[in-house]
Amino acid sequence: MIAYGRTKGSGALLRLMLVVLAVLGVALMSGCGDDEDGGGAAAQENTDAPAVDNSKVSGKKIGYLDVIEVAAIEQRWSNAFEFAADKIGWEVQVLDAAGDPAKALNHFRNLTNSGVDAIVGSSIAAEWVRPGAPAAKAKDIALVQLITKASPGVWEADIDEDATAYSTALAERIKEDFPDGAKVGVLIEGVIPAEQQRLAVLKEQFEGSNIEIVATKDIPLADQPSAQKATVDVMNAQPDIDVLISVSSVLVQYMLPGLRTAGKDDVKVYSWYADSINAKLLQSNPQFVAVVDSDIAKASFIAIDELLKRFSGEEMTPQQNVEVEPKIVTKDDLNDAIAADEGPVPYEELIAPFLEEWQTKYGLGT
């Protein structure tokens, strides 16, 4: 009996202990479950947070009309625009006016009739496409202009390059390179207002100094190779020229052989933009000293930003100048981004703050 009672009591005690342990286990598991459920609930709450309604801005089709796509600097802007558009799922069709006003108008009208949501012009003068603007506006097609400031009445938004910082930086470099003074010749595509401004600021910067512009030659946009003969003509007319400046990025490739033809291997050449063509010329031609450039490729991202505003019902900025950080680029400054025609600053670096805003505000971007 004693043995039985002892056995019975020990079993009861054991059962009690098992019950207590089981209860404690359930409590611990419940506690852990509560933490997990809490975290899960928080995660679920975040997952279920209302997404940004991007129905007004997604899936857009954009027509991009380039003044002359063969120019490497123009490719920098068109490639940057396509690069950004791809990040947010837009489709882009690039058409080349090839420096021809009639072709520009024809492309503009074709884009208008193709069902695009916007037309972006790169250095397209308003006068070139003005006859086609009413039809585009009647279809509520957004019209944005890049780089070259245009006269009113066509483009709803101008995103322009201000030559002041560029020309000032280049003028200072030439003053440093020629402390005893220099005579300067300039080649310009005078039909492009941006180039007119570059030249005007250069003249202002040289005024009162020992640097003097003694010759200016206008090169037809549709006949850029004629810059080779123009160079020879300028040097024959002004044999004492020390410096030759091209305010167009595309003319140096013709100016250098022109200098060789004229027998002027001591004349120093300066220009605009470190594109892939100029990069190669900088490496292989000691006469070609430097170009002035910047982070101007972000102008294309600003164009995307303005279009996002327009599609979401906001007003676009009628006119703005892109704030840039000018940089003098020599052969020692060349990098992979320049070789890829992105400019001194890679696209990925430039686009980062834009993508952050587009993801937050519009729910777009990868």
Spatial neighbors of 163 by CB under 8 A, at least 6 apart, are 194, 197, 198, 200, 201
Which element (helix H / strand E) includes 365?
Answer: none
| Residue 64 banded pLDDT, cuts 50, 70, 90 | very high
For 96-122, the pLDDT digits (tens) are 999 999 999 999 999 999 999 999 999
> What per-residue confidence (pLDDT) applies to 52?
76
What pLDDT is stored for residue 293 in this prediction? 97
Is there a contact between 123 and 98 (Cβ–Cβ < 8 Å)? no
Distance of alpha carbon 278 from alpha carbon 246, whole angstroms: 12
Can you give the residue ranges of every domain in the chain?
A: 61-162+296-325+341-362, 163-293
Instruction: Report strand pairing: 157-161 vs 327-329.
Output: unpaired
C-alpha 155/C-alpha 113 separation (Å) is 17
DSSP state of 299: H
Same fold flag, 61-162+296-325+341-362 and 163-293 = yes
DSSP 273-290: ---HHHHHHHHH-TTEEE
Compute the residue count for the chain: 366
CA distance 30 to 14: 24
Confidence at 12, pLDDT banded by 50, 70, 90:
very low
Query: Which H/E stretch holds residue 184?
Result: strand 182-188
Place of tokens 């505003």: 309
Average of per-residue pLDDT across 343-351: 96
User: What is the model's pLDDT at position 136?
Assistant: 98
Per-residue pLDDT at 53 exceeds 50: yes
pLDDT band per the 50, 70, 90 thresholds, residue 34 = very low
User: Over 80: is that where the pLDDT of 250 sits?
Assistant: yes
**Class of the 163-293 domain?**
alpha beta
Band the pLDDT of 331: cuts 50, 70, 90.
very high
Binning pLDDT at 50, 70 and 90, where does residue 11 land? very low
pTM of the predicted model as reported, rounded to 2 decimal places: 0.79
Predicted local confidence at residue 283, as pLDDT: 96
The sheet carrying 243-246 orders its strands as: 211-218, 182-188, 243-246, 268-272, 288-293, 327-329
What percentage of residues in the chain have a pLDDT greater than 90?
A: 79
Homologous superfamily assigned to 61-162+296-325+341-362: Response regulator (3.40.50.2300)
